[in-house]
Structure 1
């Protein structure tokens, strides 16, 4: 910012710092049009115009400054801000990129550019730009929060957690930001930090404060329900009566939708499925964005399913998946190409000959290795995870993508997966295991000597990496009738853009399922892992025998604690998967064969599934 060199510029600066923006603008009319004073007076004028939301005139003023002194990054940055606020996003981006080229180490410029990308819903460049800003200024909290939000939308859970590290100690956030932050903290299982964030949210002035209190109450209720604290959620629901929501003005539709959604979730918990369906229909009618429409439509489908209204279920699911495809299109549009591959690892295989050429390496014993729980999503992996976690000798870390991240790390260093697994040295393999366990230790700092349970369904596509690092590990493949699996996937609001696309139709799902099991069978034949097949239908019908067999496979003398999994699950503060409510209710056969009520929609995909169904021992 230049030093004022004229009396007029000094007067404008004094008025600006006193908050007298109209006086600054009035003084600017006296400015000469040439000389050194012109730059100073233009600067104070532009800043005052921005402060009074005169963004069009501010853009014109900073455009003049950027032409007068094109080497000054701050002028381009302010020009970009004024253009963004006036709605000229193309000019805004061009000016931000110029500012960045002049000052590549300026975190503020990167932050502002990242906000522009967020406004444009260009999530991937927003994510990278905001993370670059944080790399330059690690204590730039606003940048960390917005970077985390972009990571959240992109499904980058690890980077989201890194951006939110220490968030419970951040200063109170404006209420709108606090709602976003609390939602992200809850997704990563930090309920206390989420509630703390909401409790300290800074409310807006005036009548908007009352609406924001309702939104915060709705989110608190959702957090309690999501963490299985149903009675606490019901207590809080008293702060959110339906009559109050109905009386909100038209401009408060978002608050109304969030409140109705909270009521609907608890109606589902109370088996008032008709009431929940009516509420979700009301939310769907006013949902402000794709995320809101998808959530309401999935909720409506679930409520109709409980009432046996299959045609209404299917109609709601069409709406839900259309909204999710729109979300995925803004994040990873290439996933919607006809030849896209949502299951990225499904074509990565090691041949028998390639495996025989692997360099021999020493590795941990079975008891020093994780127990890997794998299978296609919605195959009963969460049920098994909670059973294992209920045993005092084991501890699960909820669903983490650490094995996938090791593969990504290899490729970032120029190695090809899985081909270069053959060439790993002992030191490199030890380093990969060390990276894995460092991440585990951050997730489970109190694990001690308990055996680790790594439950991530699609680790089934990463068997080469598992067998290279942990060849003695016990691996449990969860199986369930493929049609029940597909129906359950189709009815779930997955956050991953890749899974939004994969689950957008039964045919895509069937193709993905067949592809995943085709790769799995090839790799099992090559590696011959120490494997147990855990069949959901057998667990439901012969629970005690299944628990005993599981204990024998894992070398457990007393497997009985695993039978008390539902009690254990109710004591946990957070379970990340869609099964968070079901696993607290014990074993039930209600989900077995549920797909048959939807057979008319499955008929077209049965020819795709039938070979795998027969291979796995299932009939249609």
Structure 2
């Protein structure tokens, strides 16, 4: 016989989240059927088969309706779906109002692919017992499987109301939020689950994924590392961390992490896909092809593997084969982030194939999808405009460019500062490589990096750290009054400290500090380092705008403006108008290099550049293999282009899109004329 009071007491404890107390109370009643049923449901609901098994075996041996329910559960565990359905139906023949029988009949039906009947069974179980947490939870599962996410969430929440410590319900609620791209909400739900059980490995893994999607990479790593501590043999977490390390461009670490995931589980297809991606981005195409072949062998229709295969075909100039790979993918079924990648790749293939209208439409689709990402939406779209406004105010305060620039004055005869231009502390061994993104800065960087007297720092926040520190100290790096009284020695020292974190520079080496959009801050940089030089890469405005529109960038305050062509044109025009006002202040400290001249006459241009930098020309700078050997990985989207021999294939690409650029021709024409195109 069952004691209803004991069952009610345990139910109250479960509702309050006092799970362990409830378990202790139920375990102390081995001969009370209702208590044992509650315990069984609790264990099965949490998928703890090991603890449930003794109960199931004992109860299945009894001649009762609940005994038949237990037998049905055992059959489901053994994947005997026909028996599981039959035994649950026999239990209902024995006791027609048994909520547990309807619940487990629903589970068996759902696993048999009969979702409609399963939903009906779960709803009947809930009608018979409105506080049946596991039935609410299972109904949520069924609704999620059908894509009805809002209802699934409400059912998981109802399960938690009935059983506050129901870990599986908390977990699946958070997972559903992640699927719905509600990542901040998912993080809060995972936090609640981890308060209940700090040892929940999969909660740590998926919390890491949520942080990763939101761009909080360090927090994601912390979660992955915690999961690894809890379960060192869980292949998926090493795979996910490898994905993150690849995004952080820590290629060697990413490869090690992914290879470890595959040593734990050779069938971890996501690890094979990411390994392919690392190899492709580091221009190891043979290794990328091998990893891709492994992924496709596991699942020939895996979307990521097919996109990777298409990308490799594209790089091998097999454009028809690449397109055929993409056409195998059901795009409508892809999550937004993967669909974005698909359309960018499709655009690139169409562009290389000469189908420019198809390419344009693909890039438009890709960019519109990119705008839906949580990272994109988290960026303040007005911040860059505000930055430009601040720079314009700064320009208004600058004195007109002197007839003799500071560089010329320092070199002038008869002054007591003739050696200042050769003072490393003032930047005599510094060159800042700048230019609008996609203007050729990466190409010239890899060329100069080969030189024995040059050390390149590629896109590290050296100057930016100084500017940030000035702001934290209450200063304004664009304010003439602050600049007039600045302790330049202190801020230079901070720069050199930052530089040492990213590179070991030998005495006498020229430091090439590259960050394209840093040209907007040259007025400050020149005051900080009056002896430094600047190389500005210039490219046809049409090619620059088109190329930026075609890039799958990680969103930041600048790059979010490239997702629509009208914004890309406007941003480019504003930045280059600012540059036209700043450039004269650099005088002879500035050399402008046209991309078109560089790729058509590389030796002539590089020789002139070497003269400007006061280093001897070295022929090996133009050797493709030597250029690639200077770094483990090119950190920009230009990694594939710079892996090729210097060529003119990207010159005048804008002509293929004249119709699309026509509405902005007037805006671009003034700059085209000003830059001599």
Q: Same fold (TM over 0.5)?
A: yes
Quick one: distance in 2 between partners of 1:305 and 1:375? Answer: 25
Taking the TM superposition and a 5 Å limit, the aligned residue runs for 1:88-167 are 121=181, 153=213
User: What is the aligned partner in structure 2 of residue 228 from structure 1?
Assistant: 283
User: What is the aligned partner in structure 1 of residue 92 from structure 2?
Assistant: none
Task: Note the C-alpha offset of 1:312.
Answer: 0.9
The reply on whether 1:214 has 2:263 as its aligned counterpart is: no
| Superposition TM-score, scaled by structure 2 size | 0.66
Task: Note the C-alpha offset of 1:426.
Answer: 5.4
User: What is the aligned partner in structure 2 of residue 347 from structure 1?
Assistant: 389
Quick one: distance in 2 between partners of 1:477 and 1:353? Answer: 22
User: What is the aligned partner in structure 1 of residue 574 from structure 2?
Assistant: 515
User: What is the aligned partner in structure 1 of residue 463 from structure 2?
Assistant: 403
Task: Note the C-alpha offset of 1:324.
Answer: 0.6
Higher mean displacement: 277-286 or 263-272 = 277-286
User: Cα–Cα, structure 1 residues 151 and 597, in superposed 2: closer, same or farther, change >3 Å?
Assistant: same
User: What is the aligned partner in structure 1 of residue 51 from structure 2?
Assistant: 20
User: Cα–Cα, structure 1 residues 285 and 147, in superposed 2: closer, same or farther, change >3 Å?
Assistant: closer
* Structure number with higher relative contact order (C-alpha < 8 Å, ≥ 6 residues apart): 1
User: Cα–Cα, structure 1 residues 221 and 405, in superposed 2: closer, same or farther, change >3 Å?
Assistant: same
Task: Note the C-alpha offset of 1:299.
Answer: 0.8
The reply on whether 1:322 has 2:398 as its aligned counterpart is: no
Q: Give CA-to-partner distance per residue, 1:171-194, whole Å, 9 cap, x none.
A: 857444333321221233322211
Residues 410 and 417 in structure 1, CA contact (< 8 A), matched pair in contact too: yes
User: What is the aligned partner in structure 2 of residue 537 from structure 1?
Assistant: 596
| Secondary structure at the counterpart of residue 345 of structure 1 | helix
Quick one: distance in 2 between partners of 1:142 and 1:441? Answer: 39
Task: Note the C-alpha offset of 1:116.
Answer: 9.9
Taking the TM superposition and a 5 Å limit, the aligned residue runs for 1:423-462 are 423=483, 427=487, 429-444=488-503, 446-449=504-507, 450-462=509-521
Quick one: distance in 2 between partners of 1:165 and 1:454? Answer: 33
Quick one: distance in 2 between partners of 1:287 and 1:557? Answer: 56
User: What is the aligned partner in structure 1 of residue 350 from structure 2?
Assistant: 304
User: Cα–Cα, structure 1 residues 176 and 165, in superposed 2: closer, same or farther, change >3 Å?
Assistant: closer
Task: Note the C-alpha offset of 1:271.
Answer: 1.1
Residues 49 and 58 in structure 1, CA contact (< 8 A), matched pair in contact too: no
Quick one: distance in 2 between partners of 1:117 and 1:465? Answer: 45
| Secondary structure at the counterpart of residue 279 of structure 1 | helix
Quick one: distance in 2 between partners of 1:436 and 1:537? Answer: 33
The reply on whether 1:181 has 2:236 as its aligned counterpart is: no
Q: Give CA-to-partner distance per residue, 1:46-88, whole Å, 9 cap, x none.
A: 9x989x99999997797699xxxxxxxxx8xx58x7774464x
Quick one: distance in 2 between partners of 1:198 and 1:86? Answer: 27
User: What is the aligned partner in structure 2 of residue 419 from structure 1?
Assistant: 479
Residues 432 and 514 in structure 2, CA contact (< 8 A), matched pair in contact too: yes
Quick one: distance in 2 between partners of 1:343 and 1:146? Answer: 36
Residues 328 and 498 in structure 1, CA contact (< 8 A), matched pair in contact too: no
Residues 404 and 462 in structure 1, CA contact (< 8 A), matched pair in contact too: no
Residues 173 and 197 in structure 1, CA contact (< 8 A), matched pair in contact too: no
User: Cα–Cα, structure 1 residues 565 and 287, in superposed 2: closer, same or farther, change >3 Å?
Assistant: farther
Task: Note the C-alpha offset of 1:219.
Answer: 1.8
Quick one: distance in 2 between partners of 1:235 and 1:5? Answer: 54
| Secondary structure at the counterpart of residue 590 of structure 2 | strand
Q: Give CA-to-partner distance per residue, 1:108-165, whole Å, 9 cap, x none.
A: xxxxxxx99867646689999999xxxxxxxx999998888667555678x6899699
Q: Of 297, 308, 313, which aligns to 2:359? A: 313
Quick one: distance in 2 between partners of 1:317 and 1:18? Answer: 49
Quick one: distance in 1 between partners of 2:190 and 2:481? Answer: 33
Residues 173 and 202 in structure 1, CA contact (< 8 A), matched pair in contact too: no
Quick one: distance in 1 between partners of 2:289 and 2:666? Answer: 46
User: What is the aligned partner in structure 2 of residue 465 from structure 1?
Assistant: 524
User: Cα–Cα, structure 1 residues 165 and 275, in superposed 2: closer, same or farther, change >3 Å?
Assistant: same
Residues 397 and 480 in structure 2, CA contact (< 8 A), matched pair in contact too: no
User: What is the aligned partner in structure 1 of residue 436 from structure 2?
Assistant: 376
| Superposition TM-score, scaled by structure 1 size | 0.71
The reply on whether 1:592 has 2:651 as its aligned counterpart is: yes
Taking the TM superposition and a 5 Å limit, the aligned residue runs for 1:181-330 are 181-201=241-261, 212-241=267-296, 245-246=299-300, 256-283=302-329, 285=331, 288-327=334-373
User: What is the aligned partner in structure 1 of residue 151 from structure 2?
Assistant: none
Runs of 5+ unmatched residues, structure 2:
1-17, 30-38, 57-65, 67-130, 141-153, 192-199, 401-405, 407-419
User: Cα–Cα, structure 1 residues 187 and 423, in superposed 2: closer, same or farther, change >3 Å?
Assistant: same
Larger radius of gyration: 2
User: What is the aligned partner in structure 1 of residue 627 from structure 2?
Assistant: 568
User: Cα–Cα, structure 1 residues 409 and 289, in superposed 2: closer, same or farther, change >3 Å?
Assistant: farther
User: Cα–Cα, structure 1 residues 508 and 296, in superposed 2: closer, same or farther, change >3 Å?
Assistant: same
Quick one: distance in 2 between partners of 1:172 and 1:7? Answer: 31
User: Cα–Cα, structure 1 residues 288 and 615, in superposed 2: closer, same or farther, change >3 Å?
Assistant: same
Quick one: distance in 2 between partners of 1:603 and 1:383? Answer: 29
Task: Note the C-alpha offset of 1:529.
Answer: 7.2
User: Cα–Cα, structure 1 residues 264 and 516, in superposed 2: closer, same or farther, change >3 Å?
Assistant: same
Q: Give CA-to-partner distance per residue, 1:211-255, whole Å, 9 cap, x none.
A: x5333222212211111111222233442446x534x6xxxxxxx
| Secondary structure at the counterpart of residue 648 of structure 2 | coil
